[in-house]
Amino acid sequence: MFLGVVACLLFFNVQSSQGLTARIKPNRTSFVFESGIKPNVTCESDCGNYNWKCNYEWRAEKNERTHIYIKKNNSRIDTPLKENVTLLCYVTHEYHNNIKVYSKRIDLFIKERLLSTATPINDSKNDNDERTNITRESEYAPRNITIRSYGDINDLQEGSGYIEIRCNADCNPECDRYQIYHNGAIINTSKHTRITKDRKNSGRYQCAATNSISDRFQYSTNNVDINIKYAPSNVSIQYWSDRKELREGSGFIEIRCNADCNPECDRYQIYHNGAIINTSKHTRITKDRKNSGRYQCAATNSISHRFQNSTNSVDIDIEYITVILESNKKELAINISDSLPRDVSCRIDCNFPGCDSNITVKRDSQLYRTIRPRESIFENRAVERSDGGTYVCMVGTRVSGNNFKLILYHGPKTTSVLRNYQTISGDIIEKEDPSMAIPLRCWSSCNPSCEVAWYKDGQLESRGNPVIKITRDRRMSGVYQCEASGVEGKVKSAQVNVTIQYPPGDVTITPGDDTFYKKRYGKTLHDITCEADCVPECTYTWYREGYSYRYTTGNSLFATRYYYYSDSSRFRCLASNAIKPYNNYSRWITVKVKDGPDNVTIIPSLPAIENSSFTLTCSASCHNGCQSYSWYHDGRSMNQRTKVLEFHRLSKEDSGRYRCQVTDYFGTKSGYYTMTVQYKPVITSPKNQTTITAPDLLDLTFIVDGSPSSNVTIFHETLTFLPHMTGQFSFNVSIESCLDQGEYRVEAVNDVGFGSFNFMPNIKCSPIVVRHSNVAHKEFRVGDLLHLTVIFMANPTAEVLWSFVPWNQNTSLKVQAQQIQTHKESTKLVLILSDTHKFGKYILELKNELGKINKEFNIQGPIVAATMTDPGTTISSRDSDSDGDRSMSPTSWKGKTNALRETEMNTFLLQQDKLHEEVQKLRLEGDVLRLKRNYYVIKLQVLMKEHPDIIDEVFGED
């Protein structure tokens, strides 16, 4: 069985103490090549990582001495092979000559070419007389030499099992000598051999053979590469630095994890103090104190699923030194007179012997003094001007990470105002030009800079900016002065008077009205003057409309001239000075003749309501104020001299016509108002008809006195509404029967309130049934309780008489007294229908001196059959059984319960009467509540009109 050959190139490593390696690729020690062929052999090193650079040199070894074989720097043998030679690869670091390493020796051999021959042994002719050569089989040296591997090669993992290696050759005579090579070294001299699955047996296998024809071995034309896979072993960690010392600062430390594994390890873990920091084969760390500690590594490959930890660890201790400036504050501001602070010091943080040394203190990068660790950087003395600045601490070239700033406060001593870098005082006069400005600077000697404030005319103008730009605008004229504030107090500059000249601006007339008034044949109320904003001062001229010549000069219109005119005139003023455009006119004003106040009116407060407070306010337009007020009521003086006429409690007598007379500077005028006091209605009646016999007419005559007019309602069983009435009114009520008895109430309501009038007539009437129990079409049975209730009315009181006509007789019988309950206006009949003789017609008779009335009630049982006594009346039992018709023959058990039912029924009737009386009472109370509700609705409407502000406050604007 043919087994495939799995080949793998292995790298043979040689490590130096500095971490540099030199490897030969392919990883063998013996090579065979044909003459004139360039060997494909390379030297590799770790120099290429991390931007390092190495030099390569191939050296030949002969007689235990070496000489340069290839002169140029080349990692590959690029010279054709001419002879057998033993070589070494020599690797050196380009910048560190002390870092160098040799590879292991390799042997390079030249392969010889072999030819075979055949010797003729006979010469004869064939049948055609043609010559032929008859040869015998030739002998030849070995050829077609190959090497093959057999056996358990599918699983090339280190462990149990064997691999067979056989050398095959074409030889005549047979090959009698063999050589099997492993990585160029003879391991066996037989045709075949067996090797174990051990990593040391990995490599390239070749063979050679010879026979008696040749004295030299002929090598196989092929190789067999055997790669035994195994999990990582010999895991180790190493490091090297770009500089010898491990001092904190610039530079790096390289850390590499090395492992023997096949196939190559593809996963690594590098640990720092037990924590994974990298998952590659190598890493680079900075020279920082935080990177001090113990480093270990682990590796694995596809053969093993577990990491194999390194058998060693490296401890890296990075030396460091730090100078620290310690202070409670980063900066401190003090005055010249203060002492230097003593709580600012420096100390050293380091981890190697002898690192605690003197500390240099620098101020603004200049040497200040030298101190010991934890000593104050300042001397124990008062502050000098030279002490201000920024301080740091230094040890060697290392500077403290933080600094301390000492700020010295002083000044000001003097303050001055500069213009164009020249000190100025006195006056600055410029013409108005808002597009230009006058820049002034406030200068003072302060450290830190003083706070500057500018004042104009003694008032603060600006603060903070030492430069003020005064716009050449008329509004900016004034006296300017600056003030500098510092630790030594405040100092003001000299005053600078800035004057901006400008032509007349808006010309104004005082007072500011457009129309002025004068008394008829008198003077104006106020002096009328003309003013204009102008620098220098203006002159003034007055002109009257319609006249080209001037009316007068000076700023007062009537200072030198009196106004004689009785009609109105218009005037205006001209202001002039020496600045272009030189002059400007005022607006036109009108002077009129006036004879008193305007718009005299009387304004009332809320509607005038009886018993409430009320005011009349006299309103008038008086120029320069009203001088006096006088009040009159219906032409009579009220001796009131105030603007507001107050009424604390109005009465009907306060109604009438009011006049307010107002006097001002120009004369007297009056205003008028007619007031009507509102009051709630009062109802009276000139008649009092107490007795009336129905049917008849009841004359209700009443007088309603109220303002405004009232809505009148007459209450009895129905409502009668009479809108908007006042005065005397008669209303006839038709009295038909006793149903018209009761109280008659007249109620009047207006915007102020309501009033009522009650009348209870004595109505005489014949009896009338108001309501009764409904037994029509009702069927009874023997043993039922009969309860007949009749409510009636009569005046005088009616006489009550109950009678009974049985269903089977025509004779009227008297009802027993104990079965009748009679009150003033009601009667009740209560009995038990103990047998059929109780069925029939019950008759109620009511009578008094004015008449009588009868009411019949038919009590019947179920209809079953007609009898001979009364064909129109039928009685039947509601229930039937085998004993016959019980309605015709009452049973004894029904008689036993008659007394009990009668007692319960009487109790029930009494409770019903009481309930009826309570219902009537509730109805009357409901009528009263409705009247009260109407009253309060009207009262609320009145209050809303009188005091709308209070209503908004209580109920809100919504």
Neighbours of 835 (CB within 10 A): 16
**What is residue 721's predicted lDDT score, i.e. its pLDDT?**
63
User: Is there a contact between 163 and 157 (Cβ–Cβ < 8 Å)?
Assistant: no
Higher pLDDT, 293 or 137: 293
CA–CA dist 156, 44 (Å, integer): 27
Residues 6+ apart with CB under 8 A from 374: 345, 346, 347
pLDDT at residue 751 tops 90: no
Higher pLDDT, 861 or 899: 861
CA–CA dist 366, 650 (Å, integer): 100
Look up residue 758 and give its amino acid: N
**What is residue 247's predicted lDDT score, i.e. its pLDDT?**
85
CA–CA dist 528, 655 (Å, integer): 47
3-state secondary structure of 79: coil
**What is residue 655's predicted lDDT score, i.e. its pLDDT?**
92
Residues 6+ apart with CB under 8 A from 328: 343
Cα 915 from chain centroid?
A: 67
Name the band, by pLDDT with cuts 50, 70 and 90, for residue 305: confident
Which of 168-172, 757-761, 953-957 has the highest average model confidence (pLDDT)?
A: 168-172
The mean of the pLDDT values for the chain is: 83
| Tens-place pLDDT, residues 41-75 | 888 887 654 335 788 888 888 776 788 888 777 78
User: Is there a contact between 597 and 620 (Cβ–Cβ < 8 Å)?
Assistant: yes
pLDDT at residue 33 tops 80: no
**What is residue 486's predicted lDDT score, i.e. its pLDDT?**
87
Residues 6+ apart with CB under 8 A from 514: 587, 588, 589, 590
CA–CA dist 102, 272 (Å, integer): 32
pLDDT at residue 407 tops 50: yes
**What is residue 6's predicted lDDT score, i.e. its pLDDT?**
28
| Tens-place pLDDT, residues 580-589 | 888 899 999 9
Higher pLDDT, 289 or 861: 289
**What is residue 14's predicted lDDT score, i.e. its pLDDT?**
38
3-state secondary structure of 221: coil
CA–CA dist 951, 948 (Å, integer): 5
The tokens for 652 are: 């009907």
Average pLDDT for residues 610-626, to the nearest whole number?
A: 91
The tokens for 283 are: 């890493």
The tokens for 184 are: 């160029």
**What is residue 756's predicted lDDT score, i.e. its pLDDT?**
87
CA–CA dist 350, 356 (Å, integer): 7
The tokens for 595 are: 């004879």
CA–CA dist 639, 653 (Å, integer): 18
Higher pLDDT, 115 or 629: 629
| Tens-place pLDDT, residues 487-514 | 888 999 999 999 999 999 899 999 988 8
User: Is there a contact between 324 and 356 (Cβ–Cβ < 8 Å)?
Assistant: no
* DSSP conformation letters of 173-188: S---EEEEEETTEEEE
Name the DSSP class of 46: G
Look up residue 777 and give its amino acid: H
Name the band, by pLDDT with cuts 50, 70 and 90, for residue 880: very low
**What is residue 372's predicted lDDT score, i.e. its pLDDT?**
92
pLDDT at residue 896 tops 50: no
pLDDT at residue 473 tops 80: yes
**What is residue 607's predicted lDDT score, i.e. its pLDDT?**
87
Tell me how far apart the terminal alpha carbons of the chain are, to the nearest angstrom.
110
User: Is there a contact between 255 and 293 (Cβ–Cβ < 8 Å)?
Assistant: no
Q: Are strands 569-576 and 583-585 parallel, antiparallel or unpaired?
A: antiparallel
User: Is there a contact between 576 and 585 (Cβ–Cβ < 8 Å)?
Assistant: no
User: Is there a contact between 755 and 680 (Cβ–Cβ < 8 Å)?
Assistant: yes
Q: Are strands 691-693 and 762-772 parallel, antiparallel or unpaired?
A: parallel
CA–CA dist 543, 586 (Å, integer): 10
**What is residue 649's predicted lDDT score, i.e. its pLDDT?**
92
CA–CA dist 807, 819 (Å, integer): 19
Name the band, by pLDDT with cuts 50, 70 and 90, for residue 133: very low
**With helix as H, strand as E and coil as C, how does 803-862 read?**
EEEECCCCCCEECCHHHEEECCCEEEEEEECCCHHHCEEEEEEEEECCEEEEEEEEEECC
**What is residue 686's predicted lDDT score, i.e. its pLDDT?**
79
* DSSP conformation letters of 750-791: -SS-EEEEEE--EEEEEEEEEEE---TT-B--TTPEEEEEEE
The tokens for 771 are: 């309501």
| Tens-place pLDDT, residues 169-226 | 989 889 999 999 999 999 999 999 999 988 899 999 999 999 988 888 999 999 999 9
pLDDT at residue 953 tops 80: no
User: Is there a contact between 842 and 773 (Cβ–Cβ < 8 Å)?
Assistant: no
Q: Containing H/E element for 917?
A: helix 898-946
pLDDT at residue 671 tops 90: yes
Which of 83-87, 135-139, 533-537, 902-906 has the highest average model confidence (pLDDT)?
A: 533-537
Cα 389 from chain centroid?
A: 48
**What is residue 884's predicted lDDT score, i.e. its pLDDT?**
35
Name the band, by pLDDT with cuts 50, 70 and 90, for residue 865: very low
Lowest mean pLDDT across 44-48, 570-574, 626-630: 44-48
CA–CA dist 731, 702 (Å, integer): 9
Lowest mean pLDDT across 145-159, 826-840, 854-868: 854-868
Q: Containing H/E element for 950?
A: helix 948-955
The tokens for 749 are: 């309501």
pLDDT at residue 292 tops 90: yes
pLDDT at residue 267 tops 50: yes
pLDDT at residue 957 tops 80: no
CA–CA dist 744, 758 (Å, integer): 6
**What is residue 153's predicted lDDT score, i.e. its pLDDT?**
61
